[in-house]
Amino acid sequence: MAAELELGFELNGTAVRCGAEPHWTLLRVLRDGIGQTDVKYGCGEGVCGACTVLLDGTAVSSCLLFAPQVAGRRVETVAGLGSPEEMHPLQREFVERGGVQCGFCTPGMVLGGLEAVALDLCGSPEEIRHSLSGNICRCTGYRGIVESVAAYASLPPTDRG
């Protein structure tokens, strides 16, 4: 059996340390080791987007990263963006424009949307769809999701949170 390692990284702005097996994925560390259940297990193969997190600002599939790969790095989940009382502006757009249905894909869509806006990949609905193509939603036709990201992208940068 592999020896457990002590893993340290920043999670949603807070330094965390936890034990993990070297073969564990970041997804397993977040869900089973820390209890961060806003990161979802979907396919386990990096194709559905349910486990999306921002790693040093880049959207990645946490099911494809081994725990040691995040040592000393910055991980952000949707729980780090806001709260039910004070949502992040993009979360608010998702609620107001019907970008949420069952909610399973929503964390990954929100984080993917943040990355798309940061990279200026929101010039058209087609460009938004393309930038979110790694996130699968089984409930909607993506219209509300695309409209939510477009509305957020149109906000002045000072209002984006």
Predicted confidence (pLDDT) per residue in 72-119, tens digit: 999 999 999 988 899 999 999 999 999 998 889 999 999 999 999 999
Q: Quick check: is 13 in a domain?
A: yes
Residues 14 and 60 in one domain: yes
Residue where a domain stops, chosen among 50, 80, 110: 80
Domain that holds residue 24: 5-80
- Boundary-marking domain end, from 80, 101, 125: 80
Percent helix, percent strand, percent coil in the chain, to nearest 5: 40, 15, 45
Domain assignment present for residue 67? The answer is yes
Q: What global pTM score does this model have? A: 0.93
Same domain, residue pair 9 and 65: yes
Residue 102 and residue 150 in one domain: yes
Kindly state whether residues 106 and 137 are assigned to the same domain: yes
CA 90 to CA 61: how far, in whole Å?
Answer: 20
CATH number, position 137: 1.10.150.120
Rounded average pLDDT over 128-152: 93
| pLDDT over 80 at 140, yes or no | no
Last residue of a domain, one of 80, 104, 121: 80
Q: What is the mean pLDDT of residues 25-45?
A: 95
**Could you read off the pLDDT of 41-69 as tens digits, one per residue?**
999 999 999 999 999 999 999 999 999 99
Average pLDDT value for residue range 30-36: 94
Has residue 161 been placed in a domain? Answer: no
CB contact set of 152 (below 8 Å; sequence gap of 6+): 89, 90, 93, 113, 117, 160
CATH number at residue 23: 3.10.20.30
